[in-house]
Amino acid sequence: MKFGINTFLFASPFTNRHTRLFRQFKTWGFDGVEIAVENPADFDPAFVRAQLDRHGLVCTSVCACFPPSRDLRGTKAQQQATIVYMQRLVDIAGVLGTDIVMGPLYSATGRADAVPAAAYRQQWRTVRAHLKTICAYAEAHGKIICLEPLNRFETDFLNTVDQGLQMIREVKSPALKLLLDTFHMNIEEKNPADAIRRAGPHVGHIHASASDRGTPGNDNVDWPRIATALKDIRYDGAVVIESFTQDVKVIARAAAIWRKIEPSRADIASKGLAFLKKTLK
């Protein structure tokens, strides 16, 4: 099991100059970095890979981002833009040396406007068709797409592990797995540990996120049961801290971080990592 940190805690957008953070990440004890790619032109993947290698880190995963312009159930232009973007992220993942491209790629984040059942079914069919296209590209390049269920306040489309498993069954691609995030699961799942067990071999990536988006372990997530469930399914992939603070204004607004949750970003990273290593290993 490798432990990583998502770059959103420190930067938006991530650029070449933010590789200066890698030395500190390594000092804290992280194995790798989850690179959030808001726009592929923001950085040079080859340069970032070289800097990861220089500091003895790996890229755990590529984090996809979905503003209103990217939406697999949106306008034709939004749908096509998302497909092109995801294919580009698969290419970038190859340069960065990771197999995982992940995120809530079915919809623009924050689109939560429940529609009639018939319209939802049509959206589901549209997203399913596009996921087949994206996953075919990923499979051809040896990559995995990890689909992330989000809580009800961030999407009305796919909130639970069971919905994610249904999409996997219908897409029928070995390249499609689930990203499970403890923050979202803490809101939406009756029993997050049981949900992890149901997902079983379909779990491709884990976000360790506190119930208040602060430091893992300084919250009300039932971490011992999460740890047991991950052991039960023999999960040996990456566990990445995804937390947000007011320091990165764009992300603070998107994630509704309106107050100071922890003393510092360094506290979230260092104390969260120490807790996860103690609890999950």
> Helix (H, G, I), strand (E, B), or coil: what is residue 280?
helix
How far, in Å, are 5, 47, 81, 196 from residue 35 at the CA level? Answer: 9, 13, 20, 24
Q: Per the residue annotation, which of 148, 154, 188, 189 is the catalytic one?
A: 148
Tokens representing 15 are 């650029």
How far, in Å, are 6, 152, 154, 199 from residue 159 at the CA level? Answer: 21, 6, 9, 14
At 258 the pLDDT is 73
Contact call for residues 86 and 64 (beta carbons, < 8 A)? yes
Active site residue 189: no
Element (H, E) at 52: helix 45-54
Q: Per the residue annotation, which of 34, 38, 189, 242 is the catalytic one?
A: 242
The full set of domains in the chain, from first to last, is: 2-280 (3.20.20.150)
Active site residue 242: yes
Contact call for residues 196 and 226 (beta carbons, < 8 A)? yes
Return all residues near 229 (Cβ < 8 A) that are at least 6 apart.
192, 193, 194, 196, 197
Only one residue has tokens 């503003």, namely 67
Between CA 104 and CA 106, with CA 105 as vertex, the angle to 5 degrees is 95
pLDDT by 10s per residue, the chain, length 281: 999 999 999 999 999 999 999 999 999 999 999 999 999 999 999 999 999 999 999 999 999 999 999 999 999 999 999 999 999 999 999 999 999 999 999 999 999 998 999 999 999 999 999 999 999 999 999 999 999 999 999 999 999 999 999 999 999 999 999 999 999 999 999 999 999 999 999 999 999 999 999 899 999 999 999 999 999 999 999 999 998 766 766 676 777 767 778 788 999 999 999 999 999 98
Sign of the CA dihedral running 159, 184, 29, 237: negative
